[in-house]
Amino acid sequence: LAARQVDHSFLMAPGLSAETNPDVSKVGADLSLSLSAGLQHPPDLIIVHDQASRAGKIRNTKVWLDALKPARWFHVCESSAADTARMARIITGQSTGLVLSGGGARAFAHLGAVWALNDAHIPIDFLCGSSMGAILAATAGLEWSQAEMDRRIRAAFVESSPLDDISFPFIALTGGKKVDERLEEHFGDVMIEDMPIPFFCLSSNLTSGTIKVHKTGSLRKALRASISLPGIMPPVIEDGQVLVDGAVMRSFPAPMMANTHLGTVIGVDVTRAKGIDPRNITVPKSLPTWFGRGDWRKGPPIVSIMMRSATIITAADLAQSRAATDLLIIPEPEGVEIRDWKAYDLAVESGYQTTVDTLSKLDGPVTTMRKRGVSVHPDIPAFTPDDDHLIAPFVAPKVKPAPKKLF
């Protein structure tokens, strides 16, 4: 009877080191009895680490997940005031979830947004992203410093293009090997469930036609799936399913974040972009010049066509996704195109300054926005067609009358 009166329950468990191999099956069996006795919802799990294990790499979370099947799980260091404060916010419904959209190179603006939030002492308790937004969200989820984020993202995406390993297009225009190598270099063997801040990302399942939510498993493999634009990079095959870029089905997963916790949802959306300018859909007049100027590193115009085609569905549901946020930040890095990897600094600065400007409009704490029923949404449309090339309105040409027949 008592179990039926419980709205929410938490379990606590010790962190497991790489050398620890405990038998937790009995704990799982005891929990199953509790659930069958009337506990209405699966409990959340708080995994408590000592200072040494928390400072190093968290491991073996999957052991507890398999045994206890919790709804959510959190990593807490017993001596960390920041971790304790995070759990207090989560339990009281004052947590903050950050959602980062896709957007190719424009997504570099997310770094500036994260840094501005940090400078404003706004905590980030949950993270999610789609496509390139998943990459940037993962850097924050691993608690990298600003300097480490900057160094690693520059090395992986800016100093040389990750998409210039052109291959014969049986499956995709690129081989994907450079991306694989860079993800392994920077994210290694990290498992999503072992990340210190709760994180998930999306990919699109072409086999089932559904959205795949990556909450556990290899981080780099999940990120690889989330950024695999169809036709540009080879898809990821996982458990017999074909996974491609998350932005194909959902570029801005704010509704999913809103269902993850009770607190504020902050969204940073860089998906808004003008449609393809027909002036850019041209065949290079000289291939030697095209290669000599380095334009080939961006890929031929077909790359822009394929990237836009693969993600155009997001323009239709973007307004609904934006509505799920409490605080919406929309950087508009002018002149930054989705494959313009060298525009990193411009995009980062745009994200930082836009976030600072948006925060200046608030009249209370970010952490209580949802509880107070307060939202801040810039009045910026989700999609604007590119009609700059239409210098003058179309005027139908005059048709000369046919000459009269003389006979």
Question: What tokens appear for 161 in the block?
Answer: 């293009």
Which residues touch 189 (CB under 8 Å, ≥6 apart)? 218, 220
As a dihedral over the C-alpha atoms of residue 281, residue 287, residue 292, residue 296, rounded to 10 degrees, the angle is 50
CB 96 within 8 A of CB 122: yes
Q: How many residues does the chain have?
A: 407
The secondary structure element, H or E, covering residue 63 is helix 61-68
Is 245 among the catalytic positions? yes
Catalytic residue among 245, 251, 269, 321: 245
Catalytic residue among 95, 101, 131, 350: 131
Strand partners, 11: 45
| Burial grade of 125 (CB within 10 A; 0-12, 13-18, 19 or more) | buried
- CA–CA separation, 232 and 166 (whole Å): 9
CB 137 within 8 A of CB 210: no
DSSP letters, 247-299, are GGT-S--HHHHHTT-SSEEEEE-----BPPPGGG----S-HHHHHHTTGGGG-
- CA–CA separation, 295 and 297 (whole Å): 5
| Burial grade of 235 (CB within 10 A; 0-12, 13-18, 19 or more) | buried
- CA–CA separation, 98 and 85 (whole Å): 17
- CA–CA separation, 214 and 288 (whole Å): 43
Is 125 among the catalytic positions? no
Catalytic residues: 131, 245
